[in-house]
Homo-oligomer: A and B are copies of this chain.
Amino acid sequence: MSLFILLDYASVLVFALTGALVASRAQLDIVGFCFLASLAAVGGGTLRDVLLDRNPVFWLENPIYLGVACGAAVLVFFTAHLLESRYRVLLWLDAFALAIAVAAGSGVAQSLDQSAPVVIVMGIITGSMGGLMRDVVSNEVPLVLKQGELYVTCAFAGSAATVLASQIDLSPAIVAIACASVTFILRAGSLAFGWKLPAYKSRPPSA
């Protein structure tokens, strides 16, 4: 169990950094930084816990998660002006947070003996919903829905890796590493090399 707690902490920390960066783009004050950082940090995991009826929700049981999120927010508040491209940093931190959170979400569902589809969906929800809430609330185009990029696809592939790796009786730590690696590599490839799936086109190429 402590593995998933570690993953939850790591994803809270990194998602909080992304929330704070979005707050810096919106020129909020320090409390606004803490608010957006916390929303991004615990949003996905909270939805996972509510849907799986895990009680109490992870950060209610242990409010240090919120301390971590606010600490990250304060750090960004005082240092973000040192960054050359906040949006670029935001994208890469978000990729990192996505990878960890997908591993945390799919791993927790797996440890609760959920079926494979539920494990996959919980990985996707935990990975993408905190960032989605962050983006919807702050009126940014949700990363989840940006054209010409892989995002939900990465979360899907990572969660599928969790399901597959669990079949062959690997230790939970190895499963989590496999899941996070698959997720991160796909997302990084999309950011760095423009990997993408074909998008829907309203008019097909004329034959």
Contact = CB atoms under 8 A, between A and B. Distances in A.
A128 to B, nearest CB: 8
Contacts of A141: 139
A201 B60 contact: no
A53 B60 CA distance: 11
Interface residues of A, number: 59
Interface string A29-73: 111111110100000001000111101110010010011000000
Contact of A50 (B30, B51, B115): B51
Taken together, the copies of this chain in the complex come to 3
Interface stretch (A10-18, A162-170, A191-199): A191-199
Interface string A99-125: 000000000000000110110010010
Contacts of A199: 27-29
A160 B94 CA distance: 31
A5 interface: no
Interface string A72-91: 00000100110000100000
Contact of A32 (B46, B51, B152): B152
A118 to B, nearest CB: 6
Contact of A117 (B63, B77, B132, B150): B63
A152 B202 contact: no
A150 B33 CA distance: 13
A144 B66 CA distance: 19
B81 A203 contact: yes
Contact of A81 (B26, B50, B201): B201
Contacts of A34: 152
Given A26-B145, A28-B147, A63-B117, 5 more contacts: A29-B199, A31-B150, A31-B153, A31-B197, A136-B136
13 contacts: A23-B200, A29-B150, A29-B199, A30-B200, A31-B156, A34-B152, A35-B124, A35-B144, A51-B60, A53-B55, A66-B117, A81-B204, A137-B142
